[in-house]
């Protein structure tokens, strides 16, 4: 049985909701036959989010880790290809920290690639009628921070891991006027489709 850890984030930057949190809440442990799915919601705080995530990995020893985060302005589900070794954001995390032009890990590679089959994910999600596209960058805020820490920690292991950004959810239309939104149930379906893709492999 494939053990899968899925994570989302709490709301940040004074927002009321975060679609990545809401999508993992909707997923049950037995939603995909042949798997045990574990879910968690991480704080939007640089160091704490990464330490919480790695503690979950050490505790549960999953075969797969897929982290999700919100990317307002995007119009599709976007698996990320690379994590970059950089914290550089104009907004503060939920503890009030602003990090500008800081390496996540001194002396480590500039970028580390996802070990998830990201192109297969895009194809499978599109087959469900849900917009999906490949992204080369997870930005330089907390999403990318945990992505980089995760990939760095799991290098040389058999664990498949990576990050996926999702658009705003429909319930955020009033908070982000004019930006694309998606039904959170479609986001949850996309997440389960990714897990099914891994099982089929």
Q: Distance of alpha carbon 199 from its chain centroid, rounded?
A: 19
Query: Sign of the C-alpha dihedral, residues 2, 20, 185, 133?
Result: negative
Give the residue from 63, 72, 22 showing the smallest Cα distance to 191: 22
Residue 137 near residue 71, CB atoms below 8 Å: no
Determine whether 80 is an active site residue: yes
Residue for token pair 């070794």: 85
Residue 86 near residue 103, CB atoms below 8 Å: yes
d(CA 164, CA 119): 12
Secondary structure element (H or E) that encloses residue 23, with its range = helix 19-25
3-state secondary structure at position 4: strand
- Given 21, 67, 80, 149, the catalytic residue: 80
Determine whether 143 is an active site residue: yes
- Given 21, 67, 145, 165, the catalytic residue: 165
Determine whether 113 is an active site residue: no
- Given 21, 67, 143, 149, the catalytic residue: 143
For 51, counting Cβ atoms within 10 Å of its Cβ (0-12 exposed, 13-18 middle, 19+ buried), the class is middle
Catalytic positions: 80, 143, 165
């Amino acid at each position: 049985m494939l053990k899968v850890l899925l994570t989302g984030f709490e709301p940040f930057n004074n927002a009321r909701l975060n679609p990545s949190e809401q999508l993992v809440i909707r997923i049950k442990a037995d939603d995909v036959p042949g798997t045990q799915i574990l879910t968690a919601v991480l704080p939007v705080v640089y160091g704490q989010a990464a330490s919480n995530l790695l503690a979950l990995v050490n505790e549960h020893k999953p075969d797969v880790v897929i982290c999700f985060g919100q990317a307002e302005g995007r119009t599709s589900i976007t698996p990320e290809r690379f994590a970059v070794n950089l914290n550089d954001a104009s907004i503060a995390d939920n503890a009030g920290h602003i990090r500008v032009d800081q390496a996540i890990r001194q002396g480590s590679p500039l970028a580390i690639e996802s070990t998830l089959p990201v192109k297969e994910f895009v194809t499978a999600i599109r087959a469900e009628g849900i917009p999906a596209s490949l992204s080369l960058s997870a930005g330089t805020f907390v999403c990318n921070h945990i992505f980089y820490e995760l990939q760095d920690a799991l290098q040389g292991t058999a664990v498949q891991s990576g990050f996926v950004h999702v658009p705003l959810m429909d319930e955020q239309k009033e908070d982000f006027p004019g930006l694309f939104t998606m039904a959170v149930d479609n986001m949850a379906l996309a997440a389960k489709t990714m897990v099914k893709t891994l099982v089929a492999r």
